[in-house]
Amino acid sequence: MPSTIRVRAVAHGESTEVQSLIQHPMDSGFVKDKEGKLIPPHYIEVVSFECNGKTVFTAFWGPAVSKDPYLKFSFKGGRKGDELKISWTDNEGKSDSIAAKIL
């Protein structure tokens, strides 16, 4: 199964800029389908980024985040060639993770 996460991390001096896109329906539980039935809530609860085993960013999300969320942030301490690991877990217990090298 292909990863649901796309990521790009680029080191600029002492700072590393991270951009990621996660494919996920992020259903709030308040939207109805074509038959008028509520679509059950299905959303990411926790997204975490680690660089060389150290957590550099964690987001706690809920049903208000839109479909296929995009996330961009910077952190200090990453260097070109370092490993960045991204993982998420949703309210149904599903999860995904990927590792990428910092450019």
- Can you give the pTM of this predicted structure? 0.92
C-alpha dihedral, 84 to 49 to 91 to 96, nearest 10°: 0
Domain that holds residue 22: 5-101
- Tens of pLDDT, residue by residue, the chain (103 residues): 679 999 999 999 999 999 999 999 999 999 999 999 999 999 999 999 999 999 999 999 999 999 999 999 999 989 999 999 999 999 999 999 999 999 9
Query: Hey, what are 93's tokens?
Result: 């217990």
The structural domain count of the chain equals 1
pLDDT of residue 61: 97
- Grouping H, G, I as helix, E, B as strand and the rest as coil, residue 10 is strand
Strand 70-76 and strand 15-22: the pairing is: antiparallel
Q: Tell me the one-letter amino acid at 6.
A: R
Whichever domain contains 50, its CATH number is: 2.60.40.10
